[in-house]
A and B are shown apart, each in its own frame.
Chain A
């Protein structure tokens, strides 16, 4: 059977792969959106922190024998802790300045981190095996779906909606949202705003690291793995609306799907379609699809 001249098999196959890519876009843009929405910082280091997550998982496995499932829990905490250190030592000083300085600082940090890892580990990818429980796959008829990739979709959906729920529907989340709007007032109520900001940054970084751990078995663990990805994620966040959590999640998955579709009908444009959409959205609705004009 064919739809617009393309066999359904190819179509659904690419859509599913698009959804898998979309999971990574969603996870990463979620972290970015949390950090930007609540802290007004563009975290360029996000790609490097994603890479650190993957390397941490690799090192835990090869040096300490700690496997994938434990890494999912440990690595985000470890890498998140480095994020806390960055925030405390450096980002704190820039809050009174133009936001662009934060961008430049995190860009510089990304270069340092990527360079250090490249020096230590070289450029070629390091292998990380798919965990035994998730290896193999099932034949869905229109394509063969590896089990691990199915897990990626499920896990990221859970994490994304979990985060959204915490921020939008719980008391903790409401403190966070209030603190971004009026930190002084919230502080006056006795809530430790600086600590909340630090922990929020750490949480955003932890999300990036989590995405890194999930990426390790399927994408090669290499120092450059986050560098090009992060720019696509920026586009996702801009399209979704810079501060909107739900916006980033929906846009992330949505764009993964659109990219998958493009690969079927017009593969040459698959790399650029996200940026074209971004340009269009900016012309028509500058605040983003789900954002509120700030």
Chain B
């Protein structure tokens, strides 16, 4: 058994951190809580740790005398493991901020613990729009994306082009339900119909019976309200069962660069979805991707990796401006300062914790159109920042007066 510091000391430290604007025990500790071994490992995982470290370097705070440490841990997609690590990090290891956290179930748990302990939580990986809605907190900033943005971007675009009857294949956890709920709302508002839905447990191997149900519903669009390995599995098996050949279309509601890489352009071509970062969009993105890929075995950055980088950058900016790392105060400062980073450009963070930036409707290139690995998207449209996310008043966040 390892000897840990006493609980009394931890309590004292928390009191001290609240009383004065000072860096608690001299070091700003950032914990990257992510999925290193399960279905989201490629789109977050080790890449998020690399992105966080790059952000610390690029921020220049180390040269100006601030001490920063980056820790990481694997939450294995389990809320109890994730909340246990968060608790231990905050109580024993004096971690000041947790970042990334894919899997909305884990993120919601960490959101609550961060709030109880007055620390900071900068979410990049999780998607549930509840994080800036009914579960919003003065200690949390939600970067990158959320289910509302995905639903509106992708849902709207598809219904407008004729896909007006839907069947949902949903991953059975917070994210899946939120995505299904938000997309259904968009479809119904645009005049479409939802003909049915089915829930599949997270990490399902065999989608055959769910796909069969989707097929027999005769919906024009089968919405895949899942992510990571579940999405690639369902797309592959849909090809096996001839679903697209039979006239129905698949709508990937949350797809990442790494998923397209795993599927290959042959299977994935033509897929339309929404993202908030693509490495090949501009020079700044390309420069970042080159450094990132060199450190990450050639794997290019997904929008989540970009969100971790930008989030940590802005967090450190706020810590430096505040000259302290008290969680609640830093988050307030982050909302006060406008954001400006090479990946998302200029933006703001709203009072409900929602980071605002533009979104892009992308389409996967045909194999002939791609010049090489990771050159996968064509950008079809840009959704301006003020339209991309849910209006402030609609979220039900108690912080919004």
Chain A directly contacts chain B within the complex, with at least one CB pair under 8 Å: yes
A28 to B269, CA, bound (A): 38
Are A13 and B198 touching (Cβ within 8 A)?
no
Q: How far is the CB of A17 from chain B (nearest CB, A)?
A: 5
Specify which chain B residues have a CB less than 8 angstroms from the CB of A127 in the assembled complex: 236, 262
Are A125 and B205 touching (Cβ within 8 A)?
yes
A189 to B250, CA, bound (A): 66
Q: Which of A130, A144, A148, A222 has the most CB of B within 10 A?
A: A144
Closest residue to A263 on the B side, CB-wise?
B209
Specify which chain A residues have a CB less than 8 angstroms from the CB of B228 in the assembled complex: 124
Are B41 and A9 touching (Cβ within 8 A)?
no
A118 to B206, CA, bound (A): 20
Specify which chain A residues have a CB less than 8 angstroms from the CB of B295 in the assembled complex: none
Q: How far is the CB of B242 from chain A (nearest CB, A)?
A: 5
Q: Is B212 an interface residue (CB 8 A)?
A: yes
Q: Is A131 an interface residue (CB 8 A)?
A: no
Q: Is A67 an interface residue (CB 8 A)?
A: no
Are B209 and A146 touching (Cβ within 8 A)?
no
Specify which chain A residues have a CB less than 8 angstroms from the CB of B240 in the assembled complex: 130, 137, 146, 148, 218
Closest residue to B198 on the A side, CB-wise?
A267
Specify which chain B residues have a CB less than 8 angstroms from the CB of A122 in the assembled complex: 37, 41
Given the known interface contacts A125-B229, A143-B212, A146-B241, the answer about A222 and B205 at a Cβ–Cβ threshold of 8 Å is yes
Are B41 and A17 touching (Cβ within 8 A)?
no
Are A14 and B212 touching (Cβ within 8 A)?
yes
Given the known interface contacts A13-B216, A17-B208, A219-B206, the answer about A123 and B39 at a Cβ–Cβ threshold of 8 Å is yes
Are A220 and B233 touching (Cβ within 8 A)?
yes
A59 to B171, CA, bound (A): 30
Q: Is B180 an interface residue (CB 8 A)?
A: no
Are B212 and A225 touching (Cβ within 8 A)?
no
A125 to B41, CA, bound (A): 11
Closest residue to A271 on the B side, CB-wise?
B201
Q: How far is the CB of A283 from chain B (nearest CB, A)?
A: 29
Are B229 and A124 touching (Cβ within 8 A)?
yes
Specify which chain A residues have a CB less than 8 angstroms from the CB of B41 in the assembled complex: 122-124
Closest residue to B45 on the A side, CB-wise?
A122
Are A225 and B205 touching (Cβ within 8 A)?
yes
**Contact for A144 among B206, B233, B236, B241, CB less than 8 A:** B241
Tally of chain A residues near chain B (CB < 8 A): 31
Digitize A117-149: 1 where CB-to-B-CB distance is under 8 Å, 0 elsewhere.
Answer: 010001111010010000001010001101010
Closest residue to B241 on the A side, CB-wise?
A144
Are A124 and B38 touching (Cβ within 8 A)?
yes
A17 to B213, CA, bound (A): 12
Digitize B261-273: 1 where CB-to-A-CB distance is under 8 Å, 0 elsewhere.
Answer: 0100000000000
Are A125 and B233 touching (Cβ within 8 A)?
yes
Are B38 and A7 touching (Cβ within 8 A)?
no
Among A1-35, those with CB < 8 Å from B are: 7, 9-10, 13-14, 17, 20-21
Are A123 and B38 touching (Cβ within 8 A)?
yes
Q: How far is the CB of A268 from chain B (nearest CB, A)?
A: 9
A14 to B241, CA, bound (A): 13
Are A144 and B242 touching (Cβ within 8 A)?
yes
Q: How far is the CB of B200 from chain A (nearest CB, A)?
A: 11
Among B167-211, those with CB < 8 Å from A are: 198, 203, 205-206, 208-209
Digitize B96-135: 1 where CB-to-A-CB distance is under 8 Å, 0 elsewhere.
Answer: 0000000000000000000000000000000000000000
Among B292-346, those with CB < 8 Å from A are: none
Closest residue to A224 on the B side, CB-wise?
B203
Q: Is B246 an interface residue (CB 8 A)?
A: yes
Q: How far is the CB of B61 from chain A (nearest CB, A)?
A: 34
Closest residue to A11 on the B side, CB-wise?
B216
**Contact for A123 among B37, B215, B216, B236, CB less than 8 A:** B37
Among B237-275, those with CB < 8 Å from A are: 237, 240-242, 246, 262
Are B39 and A124 touching (Cβ within 8 A)?
yes
Closest residue to B76 on the A side, CB-wise?
A123
Are A10 and B241 touching (Cβ within 8 A)?
no
A139 to B212, CA, bound (A): 13
Specify which chain B residues have a CB less than 8 angstroms from the CB of A219 in the assembled complex: 205-206
Q: Which of B41, B228, B240, B246 has the most CB of A within 10 A?
A: B240
Specify which chain B residues have a CB less than 8 angstroms from the CB of A9 in the assembled complex: 216
Specify which chain A residues have a CB less than 8 angstroms from the CB of B208 in the assembled complex: 17, 20, 218
A124 to B233, CA, bound (A): 10
Closest residue to B243 on the A side, CB-wise?
A144
Q: Is B42 an interface residue (CB 8 A)?
A: yes
Specify which chain A residues have a CB less than 8 angstroms from the CB of B39 in the assembled complex: 123-124
Specify which chain B residues have a CB less than 8 angstroms from the CB of A144 in the assembled complex: 241-242, 246
Closest residue to B216 on the A side, CB-wise?
A10
Specify which chain A residues have a CB less than 8 angstroms from the CB of B38 in the assembled complex: 123-124
Q: How far is the CB of B299 from chain A (nearest CB, A)?
A: 13
Specify which chain B residues have a CB less than 8 angstroms from the CB of A137 in the assembled complex: 240-242
Closest residue to A135 on the B side, CB-wise?
B240
A127 to B239, CA, bound (A): 14
A270 to B37, CA, bound (A): 29
Among B27-49, those with CB < 8 Å from A are: 37-39, 41-42
A122 to B216, CA, bound (A): 35
Q: How far is the CB of B131 from chain A (nearest CB, A)?
A: 25
Specify which chain B residues have a CB less than 8 angstroms from the CB of A224 in the assembled complex: 203
List the 3 shortest-distance A-B pairs measured between CB atoms, nearest first: A10-B216, A123-B38, A144-B242
Chain B residues near A (Cβ < 8 Å)? 37-39, 41-42, 198, 203, 205-206, 208-209, 212-213, 215-216, 228-229, 233, 236-237, 240-242, 246, 262
Additional A-B contact list (14), CB under 8 Å, known A14-B209, A144-B246, A267-B213: A10-B212, A13-B212, A17-B209, A21-B206, A123-B39, A124-B41, A127-B262, A130-B240, A144-B241, A146-B240, A146-B241, A218-B206, A219-B206, A260-B209
Pick 11 A–B contacts, CB within 8 A, sort by A: A7-B216, A17-B209, A122-B41, A123-B37, A124-B38, A124-B39, A125-B233, A143-B212, A218-B208, A220-B229, A222-B205
